[in-house]
Amino acid sequence: MDLSQQLIALAQIIAIDFVLAGDNAIVVGMAASRVAPAMRARVIFWGLAGAVILRILFAGVATQLLTIVGLTLAGGILLLWVCWKMFREITIHAPAAALASGGNLDAAAAPMTFGAALTQIIVADVSMSLDNVLAVAGAAKGQMWVLVVGLAAAIGFMALLSAYIARLLARYPWITWGGLAIVFYVAVEMIWTGTHQVGCRFVDQAACDSGPLSTLGKLFFS
Amino acid sequence: MAITHDARPIFRPRQESLGPQTVFVAALMLAATAGIFGPRSFTPDMTLPIVATLLFASAAAASLLAWNHGATAQHHLTYWDVAGALTFIGIAIAALIDPEQMLRIVTGARG
């Protein structure tokens, strides 16, 4: 692979992550909007630093990851758990904090600790970055430096998106429900696709090629 | 008769700028136009990535305007809000894109 091909691969990786890194940015932004404003930049920085390390690790073992059946399904279930944590955070912790602060919503806007926010970001990133990393590793064609530089550029972009989202959610907390809906959709989509992949191991090729519904129908009703 | 001069400056309520609203609507219209005419002009695979990219680019433009305008009143819609909202909508659209679809587009492979 000569330099021009490597630069093309780098541009491809940046383009892929430019579009696909958004859902991770939502989780980072949502978590950052729920910590104290002074801590927000730190949460975004460490959350994204964790994302870089995880993606590089995953990309390094992408070939092995591809052989694991049910990885997408497991990632979807993990993400669903993150959704549940977020839902609890929105519906239970925030109103309780508001009550404790005498109904002052501004004082109650930071119910999350640094550790809790970081854990939420890292767990979501483990599941959400799996499919993105496989696509990116395919584009990198084994060139590690291309992969690392491309991912670093994409993470920088994600930091910008997260900062915008955190600022928006801190001002309009009701939009958090929209963020939760997006993450929930991604989780359900991963579970759907993952179930199809697992189901394909147990049905014939024709049923598998016909799509998830046909695969699951054959698996459960025949 | 005492003549008094009130030296206090006269505060008139400033007319609220419609700039952020205009930028928001213009960006949405641009993205909607790309969404409607995209499938005819490009391959259907490319429509969603183009719409998401346009929204992210508009968010970047709104944030530049926000930097330029500095701090604004808390109760009004700001360029930062517009940047955040456009980013949010862009991400919602990007969530509908399959990673393999992106790989096909950037590598030019046929699925």
Helix (H), strand (E), coil (C) string for chain B: CCCCCCCCCCCCCCCCCCHHHHHHHHHHHHHHHHHHHHHHHCCHHHHHHHHHHHHHHHHHHHHHHHHHHCCCCCCCCCHHHHHHHHHHHHHHHHCCCCHHHHHHHHHCCCC
Residue A152's pLDDT is what?
80
- Higher pLDDT: A103 or A61? It is A61
pLDDT for residue A160 is more than 80: yes
Q: pLDDT digit of tens for each residue in chain B (111 aa)? A: 555 555 555 555 455 566 888 999 999 999 999 888 877 777 778 888 899 989 999 998 998 888 887 766 566 788 888 998 998 899 889 888 887 788 788 777 654
Q: What is the pLDDT of residues B73-92, one digit of tens each?
A: 566 788 888 998 998 899 88
Give the pLDDT mean for A173-193.
Answer: 88
Residues of A in contact with B20 (CB under 8 A): none
Q: What is the pLDDT of residues A52-101, one digit of tens each?
A: 788 778 877 776 777 777 888 888 898 898 888 888 878 876 665 555 55
pLDDT for residue A18 is more than 50: yes
Give the pLDDT mean for A104-125.
Answer: 72
Enumerate chain B positions whose Cβ falls within 8 A of a Cβ in A: 49, 52-53, 56, 59-60, 63, 80-81, 83-85, 87-88, 90-92, 94-95, 97, 99-100, 102-103, 105-107
**From CA A42, how far away is CA B89, in angstroms rounded?**
25
**From CA A34, how far away is CA A166, in angstroms rounded?**
8
Task: Give the ipTM of the model, two decimals please.
Answer: 0.73
Residue of chain B with shortest Cα separation from A167: B84
CA distances from B3 to A57, B6, B7, B10 (A): 80, 10, 13, 18
Give the pLDDT mean for A170-199.
Answer: 87
Q: Rg of chain A over CA atoms, in angstroms? A: 19
Q: Number of CB pairs < 8 Å for A and B?
A: 82
Confidence class of residue A108 from pLDDT cuts 50, 70 and 90?
A: very low
pLDDT for residue A193 is more than 70: yes
Q: Mutate one of B87, B89, B97, B105 to test the A interface: name it (highest A CB count within 10 A).
A: B87
Residue B29's pLDDT is what?
93
Report the half-sphere exposure of A141 (CA within 13 A, side-chain side): 12
Confidence class of residue A102 from pLDDT cuts 50, 70 and 90?
A: low
Query: Dihedral through CA B69, CA B75, CA B80, CA B82, nearest 10?
Result: -110
Residue B55's pLDDT is what?
92
Burial of A114 (0-12, 13-18, 19+ CB in 10 A): middle
